[in-house]
């Protein structure tokens, strides 16, 4: 029962979060300053997602085998590797380091 409540709650809240901007501001011309901010938005959001998932666990900062795997993926992406290649490399490096005893 609680599981279904959880699903309903998360589904409704997520849909509302995604709908808010388009409903309130949709289809309108916005000032040029706004559009410059919008053009830059993806970079800090993605950077934040990367560092909080690769360098932190919950509320504390930590470096572990996955961090090394992600660094390897970054080098591959920068050199033009397809997404799946970099991601699999990250997984293999992480699993390999753990097999050798890394955290």
Considering only residues 32-71, where is the footprint of another protein by CB under 8 A?
32-56, 58-61, 65-66, 69-70
User: Could you tell me the smallest distance in angstroms from the CB atom of residue 28 to another protein?
Assistant: 6
Question: How many other C-beta atoms can be found within 10 angstroms of the C-beta atom of residue 15?
Answer: 10
Provide, rounded to whole angstroms, the least separation between the CB of residue 31 and another protein: 10
Q: Which two tokens mark 96?
A: 């390999």
48, two tokens: 């934040």
Question: Is residue 22 part of the contact set for another protein (CB under 8 A)?
Answer: yes
Total number of residues that touch another protein (CB under 8 A)? 77
């Amino acid at each position: 029962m609680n599981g279904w409540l959880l699903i309903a709650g998360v589904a409704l809240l997520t849909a509302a979060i995604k709908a808010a901007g388009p409903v309130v501001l949709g289809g309108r011309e916005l000032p040029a300053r706004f559009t410059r901010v919008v053009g830059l938005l993806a970079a800090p959001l993605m950077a934040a997602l990367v560092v909080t998932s690769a360098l932190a666990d919950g509320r504390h900062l930590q470096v572990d085998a996955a961090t090394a795997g992600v660094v390897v993926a970054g080098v591959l992406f920068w050199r033009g590797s397809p997404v799946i290649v970099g991601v699999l490399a990250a997984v293999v490096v992480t699993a390999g380091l753990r097999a050798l005893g890394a955290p």
